[in-house]
A and B are shown apart, each in its own frame.
Chain A
């Protein structure tokens, strides 16, 4: 019988992780449709006080609190592949690992503030507005680590100069395109309306769409790579 393979187990947790993210995205009432930054303190408070919204806010964000951080395991699998690349130093893999500890914790901070707003919705509306703002800015604006990850991975792929590179070159181009798509969201707070606002085309739809697409494409790439490597090792 084949030995139990830990990396394959970690890999197969990914579809469940992606499913949990999709469920959160669909069930969190703040995303469908995305709340407008122009809502007044009273309107934001009313959103959290609405008995239709409140349980859905809490339950979806509890699930996100459980699994938002789960992406770290997948990012570590990518870092393991970077260590197999024909590099002279481990610095790009160090960068990737550094970013993967920085990014997901910001998801956690956003989740914390949304849940706090929902914890005592009868609170002064100004405080609920503050928690809601902190959550949306942490969730939307903190793209630096994701941009960094995509760029560091692309550099690592370009510099993986060997006969059979670990990832094909298009993965690098794809990661650069994703970095470009999520970058504008860093400026989310400069506008309360329009494409940069946190419910706008660039900051919400393009950014979250790019992250979703990245998750799907990189799952495919990783699955193919892991099984190809195991096939080669078995043949050798």
Chain B
């Protein structure tokens, strides 16, 4: 473990790019106003399945200022991508509504938009299948779910459940959810001969470059990818999305720099979403609360473009001790937009279901839900048998309970009234895996006594520049203000994406190594390069996860059905916290996204149309200021020597993981009613209150 009291590590350092963001000087991908830049506007498919028969571009091309309309019949040809969502304008097949079928390019935004609307596309439509997934004959059990086996089973879960003295058998549902980062997906592309430069809104520019190199059959050295400031991603910018491919195609076709800033309403169909899940949870327990069987069976859906499995079942392999376990996934491919990563994919919906079911079990047992979790604390990771590198979920629960005032809670539901309001409190645990990927970085000692750390990390709002400088200063043994960081450009040493809560750990490992070597061996300078291949990705004998506990208090209005959150508290055990200020913001921010998942965010996969009616921010309700009361996050000191040189775990996602279950459990405590489908909107609450009341 490095660093001591007074070290730059852990200090609440201010964001280094803060002033730029606060004065409007920070430029995002669509804001590189290159000379002669044109604007592109996509034409989304208006059918759910079929083929483009023809694209009539004559009216569009007749508009003054229109440069081109790219169609599946004449767009430049790309190599076959591994991710087929990027094979845009390459053939006339329409795999789902919203798929890009043409791209208008014009001098101005207004003309590009008018041109896109003037394009006439005719289709040969085919019947489409947009579910439902329940009982769908086309489903299968995938080999893998989130890089793990699709199915894990130990013991005899069916028999153990059947013979359990106390049983819970419930189904929880999570609807499709949209990432909706505030900056829509955007790219500006510019060709100079056979050199391509793109400014793109991405969580990982290194991967953008390698994908573009493969698609456009170029050596990577001829491609520059810049992602200096990124307006959020939450998984939806984790890999290149169609905007960067389309912008590069349009720029090549027109010979002009081209910006494509995707219209907000088109995003849900083309950038990925959290796939809906139907999760059956069967929990069997002894009267003392010890689990004897956990069966977590997930049914979800994917597109026919590519397989993505929302791996909600994996959490049951981590959380609780049980001799009999089944965790399975079943996925149905449909003619619908492709799902992808959304903040804590797998863990967020999975823990919503598991932690809600556990609350039901606590009820059935007459046991306090904190105590039930403590009683089922495993000694080793249930599915793998590996020891945990560190696991302090019980400490999080205990500390959270103390801070929240949980002791003495009356467990009876539906008894706390305040006028027309019913009040309740709830708890849920959280988990998120520790992941790291190899990275490179350089550290340079400059003659003036300052240092520069360089790597192609992405700052999507996490404060990467700041925390990497802290890691560097700590390893160099110098004050923080003597270290500068450069990120967000492919001229810098390659680095993995900001995703899977692994950015800081992965980048920081390489930064630490380069700086530690430079400090120990200045003669190797002035520039020392580190590459953590083989170490950051080495197998560990330990099960490594962050843990947490969420506590929530709600007021349910029995007249309107509205739920108001009064308090949210999250306590986390995530290794060493490297920047107290930015870490707190990530924890509370993710909890607020969890609040949205629980209460406001609702998308529907419309079966008749095969896409999402709630595709804009007026119909898809992300939480607003008025929805968000006192939200607090804190952490316990956790020292884990089995991680990276900083001793840190990822913190970007765990904050969302337990929030929805804690809120749902609080709603049950308030009302006495179990609502098992998110979100908990007033219509559902009112219907529940009326039918129970």
Is B one of A's binding partners?
Answer: no
